[in-house]
Amino acid sequence: MTPMADSAGDDAAGGRPLPLSGLKVLDLGRIYQGPWCGTLLALSGATVIKIEEPSGEPARRGAKGTMSVPFAILNSNKQAITINLKEARGRELFLDLVRQADVVIENYGAGTMDGLGVGPDVLLAANPRLVYAAATGYGVEGPDRDRLAMDITIQAHSGVMSVTGFPDQPPVKAGVAFVDFLGAVHLYSAVVTALYDRERTGQGRIVDVAMIDTIYPTLASNLSAFYRDGVAPRSGNGHGGGALVPYDVFPTSDGFIALIVVTEGHWLSLCDVLGAPELADDDRFRSNARRFHNVVDLDAIIGAWTSERTRDEVVALLGDAKIPVAAVRDVGEVVNDANLHERGALVRVDHPMAGEIVVPNTPLRFRGSAMAELRPSPALGADTRLVLSEWLGLDESALDALAADGVV
């Protein structure tokens, strides 16, 4: 990784600055949700200061003293400082930083910041233009506000696990931490929406994103089954609402592919590729509704065809016919994906604390501005002295005293 220019929003190509250039963000995020929101802000041009307790946030620590890979990939382009918010002097330092900041983001449990004496009301009193963004599991209000939440528990509580897996097997969680990242993306959108409002009104505000609130729309397909049949069953790799057939994962001679037929045009093209145009006139498969009622027969026909061919061959044949299809790839294949690397979505780096890894860039592309050049996630407290000196004008003797007292 080559260090970026001094300004986080500079455009190396000489075009327009990134949209959030000049914005100052204090990121108290932990684990996945808060940190990814902070990184999205940083990669959109903001100056993001990651604030941790002196021992570091839980996701930072890897094996044998290394930095964990999740921390390394979710905290690029930030400066890192430590402040002990349990100490009065630490809270004073934090308030001094808040007075110069535009945004504070945090994903502690509801009420934690209030308990520390630096809750949103205190911070907005110190800086009325501040956007205070809180991400929680169940919201800062409501009967479930005090429940602890992690990705898997929200998947369970939201109904996601009840519709994930196969009908004759227990419920399972999704293979990825999608709840955390849905929360992060919604938190980012709430922040930039509040900033837009601030441009019109001059006033900051508190924004609140609860992970549980972000999940219900993802049940859209399953809700169609619920309102039709009174129950939303687990459907394996099939469509959650039974609305599209074929829609499944099929075996090949060397792996698996995922296939979906959305339109009747796709269906007719599939019949041709299978070398069985007569299927289009087969009474069992004449419409999507009939295919739904005869899905076992149809899946067996398709599976027999795919099983005789390699994964890449099936993808090529169906793809050439403009049928939605993809290989079921493993993580190693994704890490080395040529398209993602060529587009700059993934960047291979030799991280000073995590080793050689592939890290994500932002999915947000702003035409006219170059993507921010990735900087490695920082060591614990790496920028404490620099930030407190530049932001608050503290000299070396004051910084030494703060360190000696365990404040930073």
Instruction: Respond yes or no: is residue 157 known to be catalytic.
Output: no
What is the signed CA dihedral for 205, 211, 214, 219, rounded to 10 degrees?
-170
pLDDT in tens, 167-184: 999 999 999 999 999 999
> Is the per-residue pLDDT at 230 higher than 70?
yes
Phi, psi angle pair for 47, to nearest 5°: -85, 115
Asked if 33 and 109 touch (Cβ cutoff 8 Å), the reply is no
Q: Which residues of 374-408 are buried (b: 16+ CB within 10 A; e: fewer)?
A: bbbbbebbbbbbebbeebeebeeeebeebeeeebb
pLDDT in tens, 121-178: 999 999 999 999 999 999 999 999 999 999 999 999 999 999 999 999 999 999 999 9
Confidence tier at 6 by pLDDT (50, 70, 90): very low
* CA–CA separation, 359 and 351 (whole Å): 10
Mean pLDDT over 231-251 rounds to: 94
> Is the per-residue pLDDT at 394 higher than 80?
yes
Per annotation, catalytic residue among 157, 186, 239, 266: 239
* Confidence at residue 155, expressed as pLDDT on a 0 to 100 scale: 98
pLDDT in tens, 283-310: 999 999 999 999 999 999 999 999 999 9
> Is the per-residue pLDDT at 34 higher than 50?
yes
Tell me the β-bridge partners of 81: 51
Which 3-state string (H, E, C) describes 229-281? Answer: HCCCCCCCCCCCCCCCCCEEEEEECCEEEEEECCCHHHHHHHHHHCCCHHHHH
* Confidence at residue 243, expressed as pLDDT on a 0 to 100 scale: 86
pLDDT in tens, 328-374: 999 999 999 999 999 999 999 999 999 999 999 999 999 999 999 99
* Confidence at residue 188, expressed as pLDDT on a 0 to 100 scale: 98
DSSP-based three-state secondary structure for 381: coil
* Confidence at residue 16, expressed as pLDDT on a 0 to 100 scale: 94
* CA–CA separation, 25 and 48 (whole Å): 5
* CA–CA separation, 320 and 366 (whole Å): 31
